[in-house]
């Protein structure tokens, strides 16, 4: 620095400080990494919403662990693009695209029938797909979109695939919720938003519902195991992935997305970083046999108290059975 004049020294110092600060901020927000080296050779995994974001990175990671990975996507072209991306890194991996639109019970049923007919095992089901704060839209069956896709669709899908999961030794069901579930409410008076709709509240409600489903499913599977001495029941894991720079903000106005982009780049996790807790729940050896717990940053976290209301969870299950004609 001795050959630099004063203003050049100042610019160089500011440059170094800014670079270091950016590096430290990005490091601070990147979250934990799944350390497991487990391989999944011979195992079959389904990832919903696998064409982009966290789902695609999860599918890529599991494919590199030699799993047969089924990308369950609603758009075949987007699914094939994701498969191409994954095959670039895992040329020998088995990556299959199948159509699943969680906003259509018909599609969920035909996807499940196909899986039950063609697959002889299902080791991990990852309920990852989701929509975030859309305007009031309805699924093919008339459900409010966030409640329909983020919760009801995955409730139906999981139940339809349960027998195959039960037939597979040490299978896992991984449910991607969100920390925003803490703002959720299950309002049985207006569960389908016929009277009121708020985008933000709708998202939190759907994530609270899927987390309650995770606990209730675990409870029912445990009771089933006790009464039928079936020790082979799937384990259920629920998680929040953090805040990640994905296509989640697609329903935001373009100017908001542009304004948010430096913040997203600086403070949000990348999709690969955001996928780590999902991967951890899907593969970590130390979680074998553990079930009905909640995770964030590759470690267990306490359930939010709203998730623990067992009467609401039971009623929600019964209402959901009726809504999905399970």
Ligand X SMILES: NC(=O)c1ccc[n+]([C@@H]2O[C@H](COP(=O)([O-])OP(=O)(O)OC[C@H]3O[C@@H](n4cnc5c(N)ncnc54)[C@H](OP(=O)(O)O)[C@@H]3O)[C@@H](O)[C@H]2O)c1
Q: Could you list the residues that contact ligand X (CB under 6 A)?
A: 48-49, 51-55, 74-75, 78, 100-103, 128-132, 149, 176, 178, 240-241, 243-244, 246-248
Nearer to ligand X, 179 or 319 (CB): 179
We find the least distance from the C-beta atom of residue 113 to ligand X, in angstroms, to be 17
CB of 143 to ligand X, least distance (A): 11
Which of 115, 116, 62 shows the shortest CA–CA distance to 90?
62
Rounded Cα–Cα distance for residues 19 and 137 (Å): 43
Angle (CA) 58 178 98, round 5°: 40
Q: Which of 203, 237, 294, 295 is catalytic?
A: 203
* Euclidean distance between the first and the last CA atom of the chain, given in angstroms as a whole number: 72
- Shortest Cβ distance from residue 326 to ligand X (Å)? 18
Q: Which two tokens stand for residue 105?
A: 């019970």
- Residue number of the CB atom closest to ligand X: 53
Nearer to ligand X, 197 or 225 (CB): 197
Q: Which two tokens stand for residue 64?
A: 């590199």
203 part of the active site:
yes
Q: 82 or 164: whose CB is closer to ligand X?
A: 82
* Residue with smaller CB distance to ligand X, 181 or 313: 181
- Taking the complex as a whole, the smallest distance from the CB of residue 284 to ligand X amounts, in Å, to 19
Q: Which residues contact 34 (CB under 8 A, 6 or more apart)?
A: 61, 276, 277, 279, 280, 283, 284, 298
Distance (Å, rounded) from C-alpha 29 to C-alpha 102?
A: 31
Q: Which two tokens stand for residue 7?
A: 């203003």
Just list the catalytic residues.
203
């Amino acid at each position: 620095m001795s050959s630099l004049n004063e203003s050049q020294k100042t610019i160089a110092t500011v440059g170094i400080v800014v670079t270091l600060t950016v590096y430290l901020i990005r490091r601070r927000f990147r979250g934990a990494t799944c350390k497991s080296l487990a391989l999944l050779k011979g195992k079959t995994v389904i990832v919903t919403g696998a064409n982009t974001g966290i789902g695609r990175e999860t599918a890529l990671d599991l494919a590199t662990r030699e799993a047969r990975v089924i990308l369950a996507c609603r758009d075949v072209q987007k699914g094939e693009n994701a498969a191409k991306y994954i095959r670039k890194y895992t040329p020998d991996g088995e990556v299959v695209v199948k159509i699943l639109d969680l906003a259509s019970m018909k599609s969920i049923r035909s996807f499940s029938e196909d899986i039950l007919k063609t697959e002889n095992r299902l080791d991990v089901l990852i309920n990852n797909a989701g929509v975030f704060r859309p305007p009031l839209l309805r699924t093919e069956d008339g459900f409010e979109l966030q409640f329909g896709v983020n919760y009801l669709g995955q409730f139906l899908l999981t139940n339809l695939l349960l027998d195959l999961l039960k037939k597979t030794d040490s299978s896992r069901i991984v449910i991607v919720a969100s920390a925003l579930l803490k703002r959720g409410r299950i309002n049985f008076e207006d569960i389908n938003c016929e009277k009121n709709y708020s985008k933000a509240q709708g998202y939190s409600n759907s994530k609270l519902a899927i987390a309650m489903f995770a606990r209730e499913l675990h409870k029912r599977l445990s009771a089933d195991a006790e009464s039928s001495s079936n020790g082979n029941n799937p384990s259920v894991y629920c998680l929040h992935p953090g805040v990640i720079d994905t296509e989640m903000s697609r329903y935001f106005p373009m100017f908001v997305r542009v304004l948010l982009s430096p913040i997203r780049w600086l403070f949000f996790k990348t999709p690969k970083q955001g996928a780590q807790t999902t991967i951890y729940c899907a593969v970590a050896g130390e979680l074998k046999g553990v079930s009905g717990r909640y995770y964030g940053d590759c470690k267990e976290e306490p359930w939010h108290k709203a998730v623990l209301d067992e009467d609401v969870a039971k009623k929600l299950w019964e209402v959901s059975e009726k809504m999905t004609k399970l």
